């Protein structure tokens, strides 16, 4: 009888231990399967048509013949610059639109590699990304990379983005020639970003 009692107790203890082990294992499995936060999108989300409309509305009729660029050299189309643009360069409206698309593609690549890939978790707004792409296309990748330094840090949160964008515009246009076009474009970019103009 004594041995039978011991056997029963041992069986009960084993079952309890097995249940505890199963519950513990299940708990650990749940922890391992728990979400680790938002997953990075496969690509930058922005709205191409909105960027094109913003730029073309601000610019107006594209330059079909090269014009002097206030910053030096020549520009053509919707403000495209480069060594390939010569004083005698001539294009069609279709070519101007095609060049703009290529410039926007380059701007997306620049913005994504220099900022978005690292701070994507707070740069989730399509409109803000589109405004950023437009701004990069406007000042060029080299200039953007120079002024973007120290603007984003490990402590940057979404609420800081308006201030950062305004600071970028101020820095990017510090040496630019003032014009109705530039004012219209920056106003449109700020509105798209979500920055409301303060009416005096």
pLDDT 10s digits, 29-78: 554 554 566 788 888 999 999 999 999 999 999 999 999 998 899 999 99
Cα dist from 55 to 27, 60, 86, 100, whole Å:
55, 8, 23, 9
Distance CA(51)–CA(136), nearest Å, equals 11
Candidates 1.10.530.40, 3.30.420.40, 3.50.50.60, 1.10.300.10; correct CATH number of 48-193? 1.10.530.40
Q: In percent, how much of the chain has pLDDT > 90?
A: 72
Contact 168/148 with Cβ under 8 angstroms? yes
Question: For every one of its 200 residues, what pLDDT tens digit does the chain have, with 9 covering 90 and above?
Answer: 554 554 444 444 444 455 555 555 555 555 455 456 678 888 899 999 999 999 999 999 999 999 999 889 999 999 999 999 999 999 999 999 999 999 999 999 999 999 999 999 999 999 999 999 999 999 999 999 999 988 998 899 999 999 999 999 999 999 999 999 999 999 999 999 999 865 44
Domains of the chain, residue spans: 1-34, 48-193
pTM of the model: 0.80
Annotate 21-69 with DSSP letters as a single string. Answer: HHHHHHHHHHHHHS--SPPPPSS----HHHHHHHHHHHH-SPEEEEEE-
């Amino acid at each position: 009888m004594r041995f039978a009692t011991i056997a029963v107790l041992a069986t009960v203890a084993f079952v309890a231990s097995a249940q505890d082990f199963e519950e513990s294992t299940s708990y650990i499995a749940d922890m391992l399967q728990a979400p680790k936060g938002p997953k990075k999108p496969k690509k930058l989300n922005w709205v191409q048509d909105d960027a094109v409309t913003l730029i073309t509305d601000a610019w107006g009729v594209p330059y079909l013949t090269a014009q002097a660029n206030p910053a030096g050299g020549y520009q053509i189309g919707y403000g495209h610059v480069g060594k390939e643009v010569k004083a005698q360069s001539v294009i069609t409206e279709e070519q101007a639109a095609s060049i703009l698309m290529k410039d926007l593609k380059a701007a997306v690549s620049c913005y994504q590699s220099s900022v978005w890939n690292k701070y994507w978790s707070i740069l989730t707004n399509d409109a803000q990304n589109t405004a950023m792409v437009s701004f990069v296309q406007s000042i060029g990748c080299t200039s953007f990379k120079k002024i973007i330094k120290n603007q984003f840090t490990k402590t940057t949160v979404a609420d800081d983005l308006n201030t950062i964008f305004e600071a970028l515009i101020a820095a990017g246009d510090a040496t630019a020639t003032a014009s109705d076009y530039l004012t219209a474009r920056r106003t449109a970019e700020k509105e798209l970003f979500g920055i409301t103009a303060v009416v005096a």
